[in-house]
Amino acid sequence: MPLTSPLRLASSLFEASFASRPTAGASAPGRVNLLGEHTDYNGGPVLPFALPRRTVVLVGPGTGWEAVSALDGAVVRFDPAAAPEGRWTDYLAGVIRVLHEMRAAPPGGRIAVASVVPAGAGLASSAALTVATAKALSQLSHRRLSREALVEVAYHAEHDVVGVQCGRMDQTIAAHATARHALLFETGEDTRRQVPLDVPILLIETGVSHRLADGEYNRRRAECGAALETCRAVGVDAGSLAAVPEETLEQVRSQMPEVLFRRLRHVVRESGRTRAAALALTTRDFPRVGQFLLDGHASIRDDFESSCGEADRLVESAVRHGAWGARLTGAGWGGTVLVLAPPERYPALSKAVAADFRREVGRAPVMWTTRAAGGFRGERAG
């Protein structure tokens, strides 16, 4: 079923809400992280790709700030200087505040947003919104910001203003994605390499919504910080948790609480797996990539404890029905499972997995196949 064009939707929403036409605009994609979960704030590698599904942000000049979303069509006035209120406009306010500090924010504006990136599904809908907003508003104030600068604006908006202690993976892929490629982003060295990914991927939404700000995510970050401190205290010389040598794991095991050790083991092994998977992708060794996905899922289930029962069932079911591999993608505790299988198997596999899920969980999962798409771009309202 074709999705409504978010550009057309945002454009008519803008005109209907503000009785004028937008003067600038941009869109940015959601993302799927193929591998490298909870490594980006630990100095490790990540391997995301961008979805063809995008969020469109159209803007025009105004006095004060007003925004409207296609989700409910209600025009909201907001003050970017006020404390976050737990509303979607907090993300806009975050971007405006960071742009303001850089003297790249217009004095006021009108903003219309339409998105086909599912929210709360672990597909980085918030980074799609912040990156597109940063691009559109900087255009409105006639400032050309580099991709790197846009990533920083979007990251600080979410991290410093909204208060989710996220890494930079989601903003980075939204800004740097290339069609038919995943991006190997080494967060420790801040280097990026495009890795060919020209096969369809099946996505299955668990239907369990996760909310990053709920606390589990920030708690994991604190645990990772504590694990790194302990490693250093016992003489392991590592600049980040991901850089702790795998061969020292057994040596530090008895030095920290079991739970911290498992967080550490996840980050260290996941980092190695992610680099190995990027290599396997370049040689098109998909069965090997699939095995890494399964190992990655087991690690977030058992060591990082960021999976959920619905995702575990979907992964097992996908493998039973012929997938090379599958795993829960994104922050976790709900969201979306990605499946990598021989392309001709997807139709039968989808049916079989949906039947298992209905039997085991009692409802039909939302699922769709996708391919790696491009990053943000400027949009003109048509």
Q: In the complex, which residues of this chain contact ligand GLA (CB under 6 A)?
A: 33, 37-38, 40-41, 124, 166-167, 169-170, 330-331
As given in the structure block, the two tokens for residue 250 are 């057994």
Asked whether 197 and 49 are in contact (CB, 8 A), the reply is: yes
Q: In angstroms, give the least distance from the CB of 167 to ligand GLA.
A: 3
Asked whether 67 and 22 are in contact (CB, 8 A), the reply is: no
How buried is residue 83: exposed, middle or buried, by Cβ count under 10 Å (0-12/13-18/19+)?
exposed
Nearer to ligand GLA, 112 or 268 (CB): 268
Instruction: Report the C-alpha gap between 229 and 236 in whole angstroms.
Output: 10
Out of 170, 285, 295, 302, pick the active-site residue: 170
Which residue, among 143, 115, 110, has the nearest Cα to 129 in the 3D structure?
115
Which is it for the CA torsion 164, 165, 169, 171, positive or negative? positive
Q: In angstroms, give the least distance from the CB of 251 to ligand GLA.
A: 27
Q: In angstroms, give the least distance from the CB of 316 to ligand GLA.
A: 22
Q: In angstroms, give the least distance from the CB of 300 to ligand GLA.
A: 9
Catalytic residue at 237? no
Nearer to ligand GLA, 169 or 252 (CB): 169
Q: For residues 334-359, b (16+ Cβ closer than 10 Å) or e, as one string?
A: bbbbbbbbeeebbeebbebbbebbee
Which residue, among 127, 135, 82, has the nearest Cα to 111 in the 3D structure?
135
CA distances in angstroms from 12 to 30, 72, 138, listed in the order given: 22, 14, 22
Q: Which residues contact 247 (CB under 8 A, 6 or more apart)?
A: none
Asked whether 292 and 277 are in contact (CB, 8 A), the reply is: yes
HSE (CB half, 13 Å, CA atoms) of 14? 28
Q: In angstroms, give the least distance from the CB of 212 to ligand GLA.
A: 6
Q: In angstroms, give the least distance from the CB of 74 to ligand GLA.
A: 27
Nearer to ligand GLA, 41 or 324 (CB): 41
Nearer to ligand GLA, 37 or 379 (CB): 37
Q: Catalogue the active-site residues.
A: 170
